Structure 1
Amino acid sequence: MEARRFPMASRSRSRRRSRRAPPEQTANPSLEPRADGEAHAQAAADGDSLFDDPVQGAPAQEPAPGGPAPTSDWTARTTRTIVVLAVTEIAGKLSMLVIIVGAARLLGVADFGVFAYALAVGLLAAVIPLWGYDIVVVQRGSAEPGRLRGLLADLLVTRTALVFVVLAVLAASAGSLGLSGPPDSRAGLAAFIIAAAAVLDTYTEAYRSAAAAIQRQSIIAVVHLVQRLLTAAAALTALLLHTGLLGLAVAYLAGTLVGPLAGALLVRHQGIGPRWREVSVASLVRLNRGTWVLGVASILAMALFRLDILLIAWLVGDRAVGVYAAAYRLLETALFVCFAVARTVFPLMAADAEPRRVQRHLERGWSVLAAIFLPYMTLLCFRGHDLLLLFYGEPFAGAGTDILRWLAAAPLLFSLSYVISMAMVAAGPTPRLLIASAVALVVNVSLNLLLIPRYGAIAAAFTTPVTYLAEAVAGLWLGRRRMGRPRLVWTLLPALVASGVAAGPLLAPLPLAPALLAAAAVYLPSLLLVARFVDPEQIQVLRHTLTPWRTG
């Protein structure tokens, strides 16, 4: 039934047939590996990676003469991609954190609340031009690389039309949306510019999806890094020159525009630039076919991610938004790990959406995410006040410590729900993803409306991880036919035990830096020891992660 409703779901069978064809029948010269050694689109089709293990009944692969086995080669390459994405995302997230910290310290709590609120509105509005098209381009471009340039052109044309509509709505309703002040005020103009920057950044995501389809995510990761660094430099300059909220907004917009411009140049240099002559009414219709599920699900997902800030602003005020956003940023900054892993794993899922392989990719990705987010949750719980004091100062640390403790589990549960959602759509769009997102949204809105008027921002902090847990449970149940029954709790066990051991130094009466070093020193050996008995494959994942450029 799903295959008939969503044609993309039926392609996994044809992809499996094409994968058994001889190499000369499937090779594409334009997608051969470059000198940098990154995998091309066929890597995803082969199904061999850090997150893949031989499945019973799968065709055996012979090692190349005089060289390592293909599985080992693809393991190293896939791990290298994850590490490159992670490194660039770390630098990019740290640059954004610099902007947030600078704005919090130099603008004050109230103006920083306006900045955070406007950014949340912009990111929520950006879901309209995104609409799940990027996932479709990755799916179809990975399966049929020859169509990628035409798909990118269709995506850019569609996105441009939607961006104009969204910007017009934001400009017309800035005041009524509560972006601070009347539409002609400086604060209202600044808020509109900040929101517009978030919407225009969707063009960068279009180029990212094209690169992901051919397993060359790192080229756009570099663009993202340069964009964030330039944005941080411009924003800090504006803040230090005391240009206020409006100056910060203009600098933020100028830095953001670097991403789409550089992305367009790089994809053209890689030979996957948009082929405009292939755009037609029929091709645009094909691009949109079945995307309503992904689009609505994306709106629901972003609403879950940003609605708490909007509700706090409406029900409590700008100062509460400022404190909550400061604590929330410490969580959001760490989510680059989730996105880096998901961007690497999803093309592999999409290239071979057989449930056992999707389950294997999901488990391997979850093991990486748990090994990072469980100790991070421990750190936020026990040393959250020290972190807030370090980054934002006493006005935020005093009011934000309890908020941060309630939010501590959110990155772990968000990453779980995110990779589950990727597994659900690996074989094509499904309305079950929409149902899972709707369940989570009902939980989120109901709890927030019930608790925020009485308990303030702490209620939103409590609701956030509960919401992601509800979404993950719903996704597992609704997507069980597409991903099997992944062993999520068993995969979590090594990181859980190791995080418990690392909690000892964090609870000790030590300054923050020595406590962090001591916790890290006991965490890794504990993780390896438990994984050796519980899940030895996690040791292989860690070994390749620590030596990503090792080819053997």
Structure 2
Amino acid sequence: MTGARTIARNALVVSAAQVLGKLASLGFYVVMARVLGEHGFGAYTFALSLAQLMTTFAGFGIDEWTGRTVARDPSTASRLITDGLLAKTVFGVSGCVAAVLFAVVGGYPGEVQATVALLALGTLVELYMNTFNATFQGLDDQRWPAAAAMLERASIGIFGIIALLAGAGIVVVAAIYLACALAAAALVAVRLAAVGVRPEPSASAARSLALVKMTFTIGLTVLLNTALFRVDTVLLSMLKDNAAVGFYGAAYRLLESPLLVAYALTGALLPSLSRASRTSSPSIGEFATTGLKLTLCLMAPLGTAYALLAEPLVDLVYGSDYGPAIPAVRLLGGAAALYGVGYFASFVLIAQGRQRILPVVVAVVLVFNVIANLILIPSLSFRGAALVTSLSELLLAVAFMVYVVRVTGRLPAGRIVTGPLAGCLAIALLTLAMGPTLAALLIAPVVYVAVLVAVERWRYPEDVRRVWATLRRS
């Protein structure tokens, strides 16, 4: 299998699995929002955000380092798995305890405290699974990680919906989350063992500590990014109430659901980005151009649709009771369009060993995010949080791209943005002609794809031929 076909295969299987899983997951959150109302949904959203915020730091960039290192030297896989799991256990358990203590000291109800504990454990299990996923990623095989992701999300969605309709509360739903995470992690571990990659029988605290030191920069970036992604919900819970968190959570789920596109594409390209250089063929610049272009082609129309067609989208997904979330969805449109650019750019820097600048940039944006939220949330509530999120993603994307260009050399901006911008303009004209209606929402994807393909075939026919040939071979 050629490199292009491997990239396409990995991107396609991950995207397909994530789409199915995310559809089930989105359905689960929609049912939760409708069954529990904004207060119950807000309580669960807060608990999940707190659990992820307190435990994700335990990943410490180990997965990114594992994927890059195994791509270059597969013989390191077993040792990295063992060292990574030990490090995650030590730091992850501490994070679980911290999450529960925060809920207790904050005076949250016992139901919320139990939900935080279960979700924190579920997040820790997912961190274990990510170590196995990263090893498969380094081996250029994303099929079993994709299957596990689909299993987890679909199971959470299906069993969660059944439980909610049967009258269960957020504690039972959190227990389902934990059980499904355990099943998915076990699947990936067993399949990795089947290809001959198993953890080493003896762990070494010294080696695990050395691994954490090596990945500290990446890990700090992951921690700061998680804080950037979750701190607004925590602040909103502290400054407002569960109803505000519920409306914001509904809008935020629409932002999070399509981000799988950026994750899948970046994950598929990471091994190639790790091996490429300015003088290789294809060069790092060519890989970066392809990744950025595909990311914008897929994410920019979503941001445009959120900004212009939020009203029919919210009504279709959540119903009229969540009408107050419409302004937040509009304001999150910028984040939906730009998140993929910043995410992909950060992994270009990681793949090329230029990760030291990442935590500096994210820390600066995080400070801006917290200060802006403290200023805007009291007066604008969740709408202020949504605005700050989009501004933060803009700052990240611009800053990371400045450093990417230093690594890759000048990138062809016209080739990257012309097609997506033309397609987004077509969505805007459609909305202007039809108004923000359900019909416009349903027609928008067709119009976007038609304009995108027409512009790309006219301006960059070689890109269209290359993508089509790769997809057909795969």
TM-score interval, smaller chain? over 0.9
Q: Does 1:264 align with 2:199?
A: no
Partners of 2:390 and 2:224 lie apart in 1 by 16
Gaps of 5+ in 2: none
Q: What residue is the counterpart of 2:40 in the other structure?
A: 111
Partners of 2:436 and 2:419 lie apart in 1 by 27
Q: 1:186 to 1:527 in 2, by over 3 A?
A: closer
Residues 274 and 352 in structure 2, CA contact (< 8 A), matched pair in contact too? yes
Letter in 2 for 1:401: I
1:436 Cα deviation from its structure 2 partner: 1.3
Residues 89 and 221 in structure 1, CA contact (< 8 A), matched pair in contact too? yes
Q: 1:186 to 1:286 in 2, by over 3 A?
A: closer
Gaps of 5+ in 1: 1-38, 40-72
Alignment match of 1:475 (pick from 397, 400, 413) = 400
Q: What residue is the counterpart of 1:298 in the other structure?
A: 222
Letter in 1 for 2:255: L
Q: Deviations over 1:403-443 (max 9, x none)?
A: 11111121221111111111111122532111111221122
Q: TM-score, normalised by structure 2?
A: 0.94
Q: What residue is the counterpart of 1:314 in the other structure?
A: 238
Partners of 1:544 and 1:113 lie apart in 2 by 46
Residues 309 and 441 in structure 2, CA contact (< 8 A), matched pair in contact too? no
Residues 439 and 470 in structure 1, CA contact (< 8 A), matched pair in contact too? no
The secondary structure found in structure 1 opposite 2:167 is coil
Residues 131 and 295 in structure 1, CA contact (< 8 A), matched pair in contact too? yes
1:187 Cα deviation from its structure 2 partner: 3.1
Partners of 2:277 and 2:218 lie apart in 1 by 17
Q: What residue is the counterpart of 1:382 in the other structure?
A: 308
Partners of 2:279 and 2:380 lie apart in 1 by 43
1:538 Cα deviation from its structure 2 partner: 3.2
Residues 148 and 210 in structure 1, CA contact (< 8 A), matched pair in contact too? yes
Alignment match of 2:66 (pick from 111, 133, 137) = 137
Letter in 1 for 2:92: V
Q: What residue is the counterpart of 2:284 in the other structure?
A: 358
More helix by share: 2
1:539 Cα deviation from its structure 2 partner: 1.0
Matches within 5 A, 1:49-88: 73-88=2-17
- My pick for the range that moved more, 425-434 or 399-408, is 425-434
Letter in 1 for 2:333: A
RMSD of equivalent CA atoms: 2.1
Alignment match of 1:239 (pick from 164, 170, 181) = 164
Alignment match of 2:19 (pick from 79, 84, 90) = 90
- My pick for the range that moved more, 150-159 or 499-508, is 499-508
Q: What residue is the counterpart of 2:459 in the other structure?
A: 534
Partners of 1:331 and 1:451 lie apart in 2 by 20
The secondary structure found in structure 2 opposite 1:215 is coil
Letter in 2 for 1:403: A
1:502 Cα deviation from its structure 2 partner: 3.0
Q: 1:451 to 1:489 in 2, by over 3 A?
A: farther
1:517 Cα deviation from its structure 2 partner: 4.7
Q: Does 1:193 align with 2:122?
A: no
Partners of 1:386 and 1:257 lie apart in 2 by 37
Alignment match of 1:399 (pick from 324, 336, 348) = 324
Identity, % of aligned pairs? 27
Alignment match of 1:149 (pick from 65, 78, 87) = 78
Partners of 1:378 and 1:506 lie apart in 2 by 10
Alignment match of 1:485 (pick from 387, 410, 427) = 410
Q: Deviations over 1:384-411 (max 9, x none)?
A: 1111111111121x20111111111212
Partners of 1:464 and 1:168 lie apart in 2 by 28
Alignment match of 1:373 (pick from 296, 299, 318) = 299
Q: 1:520 to 1:112 in 2, by over 3 A?
A: closer
Q: Deviations over 1:48-107 (max 9, x none)?
A: xxxxxxxxxxxxxxxxxxxxxxxxx33233212211110001011112112211110111
1:143 Cα deviation from its structure 2 partner: 0.9
The secondary structure found in structure 1 opposite 2:105 is coil
Partners of 1:513 and 1:541 lie apart in 2 by 35
Q: 1:247 to 1:286 in 2, by over 3 A?
A: closer
- My pick for the range that moved more, 331-340 or 517-526, is 517-526
Letter in 2 for 1:550: R
Q: TM-score, normalised by structure 1?
A: 0.81
1:525 Cα deviation from its structure 2 partner: 2.8
Residues 87 and 209 in structure 2, CA contact (< 8 A), matched pair in contact too? no
1:285 Cα deviation from its structure 2 partner: 4.0
Letter in 2 for 1:368: L
Letter in 1 for 2:103: A
Q: What residue is the counterpart of 1:208 in the other structure?
A: 133
The secondary structure found in structure 1 opposite 2:420 is helix
Partners of 1:265 and 1:115 lie apart in 2 by 31
Q: Does 1:433 align with 2:358?
A: yes
1:214 Cα deviation from its structure 2 partner: 0.4
Residues 289 and 416 in structure 2, CA contact (< 8 A), matched pair in contact too? yes
Q: What residue is the counterpart of 1:23 in the other structure?
A: none
Q: What residue is the counterpart of 2:248 in the other structure?
A: 324
The secondary structure found in structure 1 opposite 2:385 is helix
